[in-house]
Amino acid sequence: MKILLKDVAVNNPAQNLKKDNIDIVIDNGVIIEIGKLNEKDFGEVKKFDLAGKLVVPGLFDMHVHLREPGREDKETVISGCNCAANGGFTGLACMPNTEPAIDSAEVVSFIKKQASNHLVEVYPVAAATLGRRGEVLSPMAELFEAGAVGFSDDGTAIKTASILKRAMEYSKMYDLPIIEHCEDDSLAGGAMNESINSTILGLPPIPSLAEDLIVMRDILVAEYTGAKIHIAHISTKKSVEMVREAKAKGIRVTAEVTPHHFTLTDDAVKTYDTNVKMNPPLRTKEDVDAIIEGLKDGTLDCIASDHAPHTIEEKEVEFEYAPNGIIGLETQIGLALTELYHKKILTIEQIIEKLSINPRKILNIPVPQIKKGEPANLTILDLNIVWTVNKFSSFSKSINTPFDKKLLTGKSVGVINKLQMFFDGKFRNI
Amino acid sequence: MPLSSRHLLGLQGVPKEDIQLILDTALTFREVLERPIKKVPTLQGKTIVNLFYENSTRTRISFELAEKRLSADSINFSVSTSSVSKGETLKDTIKNIEAMKVDMVVVRHAAAGTPLFLTKVCNSIIINAGDGIHEHPTQALLDMYSIREKLGRLDGLKVCIVGDIAHSRVALSNIYGLKTMGAKVSLCGPSTMIPRFIEDLGVDVITNIDEAIQENDVLNILRIQLERKAREYFPSIREYAKYFGITRDRLEKSGKEILILHPGPINRGVEISSDVADGQHQIILNQVTNGVAVRMAVLYLLGTLN
């Protein structure tokens, strides 16, 4: 089927492409024409009037917990992908802290197979060590061959400097990054950021030092080995500064930040709402300011959701006993546009870089091109639509979000990829 | 005038008038405790559940006595005898208890914020009997009552809280309450046991115990809570006792009058020597007696609100 995207703007900084008020014709999933077109030239087309909308290369979230295999009650590959499509993403990388962990080619293949017919492309990040236990390297070559795009013991940092060094040396053969959850184990285990708020709330603290120590260690090991290190969900001022300095020295370090770490501070914990319990924890205003500075100057390459579904019964408990994490795929672009684009912190090009281009580059995945002859891998954004988050309309199997009822400006209205389109809340073949 | 809040979750933000009202009401009940028949019919027909998820002797008995003296029907629910060990969530437990039509819940729990959580999932009146390392408001109220009883006022007094501030729910409630009542509050203990940024609450921090004795009218000595892994925060009990323990020598050396409080249970020879614990400066057992009166006041004021 041919489809026509009518009167759209397009923007892809990866191609230096920026045009207003043009049309895109897609036939059999391939862009066959782009420009100011006469629709009569294309015979029978399904037309979408998209005046005022912006077409960008399909968004990509490089930090998602799909929970399958093992915790299908929280999320499955399919429900997570539905959620991603609804949030404007055409691709994602899923983290290996499943049960079993993604530490064998079989699990990588299983996950890829679950997602094979979905619009959203799924790229597994495999465990760096067997069972994420930090003792023995995972079969990285085999995992790479099966389709893993990076290695991480996410949930924790790689246990020791010696196994981290070996993981980096080994993964370097395949030019894949080590993705680190930076947290010193001996300082971990608290329930919120160490600040005056943790004292007032009587909650066991996690000092920012716990993150900073591992960021420092990892940067040094990356410098020593020449391998690629990617800092997941960065949350502290010092860590942002260290990444900035490391980049200036030419060390191969990249970093991502979640929307909650650039929008919320640990003041949000004052209600003991378990939907603001995450790891790394929400930090202080000073940290948020440093993160925003890091987003602006490019120190922070990507925005990623750390989408972490948990069941109602797991979250509806005493704060200290609740698991860490929130869902985020469907609020991510809205938060980025509301808090960063509309507040003139980032340009739309920077938003596209951090939510589509850079994550793919870090994981060696080709960036979609918006041009004639290329497969259509697109996200259609409405930058100005004002909408209210409703957790009950999420496509996720879980509803653990602190952003319920929040008013946002800007969202995805549809995505196109792999001969499918998600539009108006429905999937259709094209 | 009634209290401004329906629950007692902590002393943070509780207005001076409320604390004043509780302390003044407690004075009346204190008198009841001296009568041959120590019972008033005030809460007759009210049902109170003491929901204790953590071991407690003193606080639970104190609440239970206060309830009985007010003629309320009270039920004890402690973790070892409940269905919690079968995996029931706190929310389900409280919903079940509430379904049996109770009016008030006195809760002790190891996790901070639990009393607030309960206010969101049930309609009973909630009284915090200690949540994690957060607050223990009735302890602070009885401390303030006892100080006022002995020294006649709180306003303008200098009170130092000594010991493991970081793992204490008593410290925070005392800081809020005492400051609201116009006292000047300082903290003294090993630096590892003083939370970072605590000065933001408007308290001074000192690490020399002799200085603390010298400069204060009242010392509130916290228990070293050995069950809370407190032992990892200082080198040895011997060293703690030597540098932070309150001994008669220290008090005599200072040559001044000072009032000693301790929330109990005391570790003799650790944070307080036996001669001080039994000596003339302390009011430790008065605190225990006053505790019943203060809890009667809280239960009465909240239980008769509507």
**Three-class secondary structure of residue B265 per DSSP:** coil
Query: In chain B, which residues touch A (CB < 8 A)?
Result: 12, 89-91, 109-114, 116-117, 131-135, 166, 169, 172, 195-198, 200-201
H or E, element range at B66 = helix B58-69
pLDDT confidence bin for B84, thresholds 50/70/90: low
Q: Residue B295 has what pLDDT?
A: 98
Q: Are strands A178-180 and A192-193 parallel, antiparallel or unpaired?
A: unpaired
Q: Which residues lie closer than 8 Å to A44 by C-beta, 6 or more apart?
A: A2
Residue whose token pair is 């080590």: A178
Q: Which chain A residues touch B12 with a CB distance below 8 Å?
A: 200
Closest CB from B112, B116, B135 relative to A203: B112
Q: Which two tokens stand for residue A106?
A: 């079989």
Closest CB from A207, A313, A320 relative to B112: A320
What is the spatial distance between Cα A247 and Cα A216, in angstroms, rounded to a whole number? 13
Q: Which residues lie closer than 8 Å to A9 by C-beta, 6 or more apart?
A: A18, A19, A20, A21, A22, A52, A53, A54, A55
Give yes or no for residue B7 having a pLDDT over 70. yes
Give yes or no for residue A114 having a pLDDT over 90. yes
What is the spatial distance between Cα B63 and Cα B262, in angstroms, rounded to a whole number? 18
The total of other beta-carbon atoms located within 10 Å of residue A91's CB is 26
Q: Which residues lie closer than 8 Å to B53 by C-beta, 6 or more apart?
A: B78, B79, B84, B90, B107, B108, B109, B110, B114
Q: Residue B230 has what pLDDT?
A: 66
Q: Which two tokens stand for residue B92?
A: 């389900």
Over range B151-159, report the average pLDDT. 98
- Model confidence over A332-360: pLDDT tens digits? 999 999 999 999 999 999 999 999 999 99
Number of cross-chain residue pairs from A and B with Cβ atoms under 8 Å apart = 66
The answer to whether B267 and B111 are in contact (CB under 8 A) is no
Q: Read off the amino acid at residue A172.
A: K
Over range B63-67, report the average pLDDT. 98
Nearest CA in chain B to A203: B112
Over range A25-42, report the average pLDDT. 92
Give yes or no for residue B70 having a pLDDT over 90. yes
The total of other beta-carbon atoms located within 10 Å of residue A427's CB is 14
Give yes or no for residue A13 having a pLDDT over 80. yes
Q: Are strands A46-49 and A121-124 parallel, antiparallel or unpaired?
A: unpaired
What number of residues does chain B have?
306
Between chains, do A318 and B91 touch, taking CB under 8 Å as contact?
Answer: no
Residue whose token pair is 């239960």: B299
pLDDT confidence bin for A405, thresholds 50/70/90: very high
Q: How far is CA B116 from the centre of its chain?
A: 17
The answer to whether A354 and A300 are in contact (CB under 8 A) is yes
Percentages (nearest 5) of helix, strand, coil residues in chain B: 45, 15, 35
Q: Are strands A229-231 and A420-423 parallel, antiparallel or unpaired?
A: unpaired
Closest CB from B89, B169, B201 relative to A202: B169
Beta bridge partners of B204: B186
What is the spatial distance between Cα A309 and Cα A79, in angstroms, rounded to a whole number? 11
The answer to whether B6 and B125 are in contact (CB under 8 A) is yes
Give yes or no for residue B82 having a pLDDT over 60. no
Nearest CA in chain A to B201: A196
Q: Is the Cα dihedral A270, A272, A274, A278 positive or negative? A: positive
Give yes or no for residue A43 having a pLDDT over 90. no
Over range A379-387, report the average pLDDT. 98
Selected for mutation to probe chain B from A195, A201, A284 (highest B CB count within 10 Å) is: A201
- Model confidence over B185-233: pLDDT tens digits? 999 999 999 999 999 999 999 999 999 999 999 999 999 877 666 678 8
Phi, psi of A102 (to 5 degrees): -80, 75
Give yes or no for residue B39 having a pLDDT over 70. yes
**Three-class secondary structure of residue A346 per DSSP:** coil
Phi, psi of B210 (to 5 degrees): -65, -35
- Active-site annotation holder among A103, A212, A306, A382: A306
How far lies A82's CA from each of A27, A89, A297, A309, A380, in Å? Answer: 23, 9, 33, 14, 16
Cα of first residue to Cα of last residue in chain B, in angstroms, is 12
Over range A83-100, report the average pLDDT. 98
The answer to whether A140 and A151 are in contact (CB under 8 A) is yes
Q: Which of A340, A351, A258 is nearest to A13 (CA)?
A: A351
CA angle A23, A122, A372 (to 5 degrees): 25
Please confirm, yes or no, whether A41 is among the known catalytic residues: no
- Model confidence over B101-146: pLDDT tens digits? 999 999 999 999 999 999 999 999 999 999 999 999 999 999 999 9
Nearest CA in chain B to A320: B111
Give yes or no for residue A290 having a pLDDT over 90. yes
Q: Residue B81 has what pLDDT?
A: 57
CA angle B143, B147, B153 (to 5 degrees): 130
Q: Residue A39 has what pLDDT?
A: 81
What is the spatial distance between Cα B166 and Cα B193, in angstroms, rounded to a whole number? 5
Beta bridge partners of A179: A230
Q: Which of A152, A141, A147 is nearest to A182 (CA)?
A: A152
Q: Which two tokens stand for residue A418?
A: 């792999």
Q: Residue A1 has what pLDDT?
A: 81
Q: Which two tokens stand for residue A38?
A: 């006469």
**Three-state SS sequence of A71-106:** CCCCCCHHHHHHHHHHHCEEEEEECCCCCCCCCCHH
- The ipTM (two decimal places) reads 0.91
CA angle B286, B292, B295 (to 5 degrees): 125
